Amino acid sequence: MSAPIPFGPYELLERIAEGGMAEVWRARSRGVAGFEKTVVIKRVLPTLLERPGFAELLVREAKIASRLSHPNIIQIFDLGEEEGGYFIAMEYLRGRDLAAALSYRAAGEPPLGLALRLWIGAEVAKALDYAHRAQGDDGKPLQIVHRDVSPQNVLLGYEGEVKVADFGIARADEPGLGRGEDPKILRGKYAYMSPEQARGERLDRRSDLFSFGVLLYELATRRRMFRGRSSDETLRLVRRGELPDFRKHLPLPDLEPILQRALEVNAADRFASAGE
């Protein structure tokens, strides 16, 4: 392992991931009397520091996620500035994301069983229900929409934790937190968008519930709901709400009415909340 890289009050230990906007590091925070804490540092890619839109999204993520304190949501510790750009310090969870867990094939390691997969879905629903009900300091609903509910953003800890992560494209109904943002700017993974998100329409919590339905179907069947031959074809399928006949793949008949309602193309026909 390479030597730690000094980074303000932290030390960067290992780069965990890199996306189109940011990179994520396992890091260490040091304090008095030998205090140490392992955290995750997320920062805008150095090549994008001159583009203010990316920094604004990172700041928005920190401000929204810092309002949330729930055992099924990754906790935000700090928003800081170092080396000419903003960074977020957040909770470190030893484990892997759900996408990796669903496809992981280690020698001698059994796949995730159906009961465990459905329990994971229930834990994700708890996180979304809490986030959707969150209120600001004035007691008014924040109307948070995650907009990127997907297996890659569900983290599974080795001690049994399930946590929703990455509010990087989330929006809330407050100035500076996405209010007034043009919904036609598509952000997120096409295969997990709601039809209205894919069409660039205004969103509310029910968009996340459609995305959760897609995730729940994948948890139940280990199959993708939307899989076009290209990303553009996948987007077209989602926009039109062209669902496959998912009933024939369901392992439990009790899942059918839940998925049927969560995956309604018309948002008004879906569940009103994840708590339902």
What are the catalytic residues? 148
Dihedral (CA of 183, 60, 211, 231) sign: positive
Confirm if 188 and 197 have CB atoms less than 8 A apart. yes
Give Cα 274 to chain centroid, integer Å: 15
Written as one string, the DSSP assignment of 210-271 is HHHHHHHHHHHHSS-S---SSHHHHHHHHHHT----GGGG-S-TTHHHHHHHHT-SSGGGS-
DSSP code per residue over 19-40: -SSEEEEEEEEE-GGG-EEEEE
Identify the bridge partners of residue 89 per DSSP, sorted by sequence position.
Answer: 41, 78
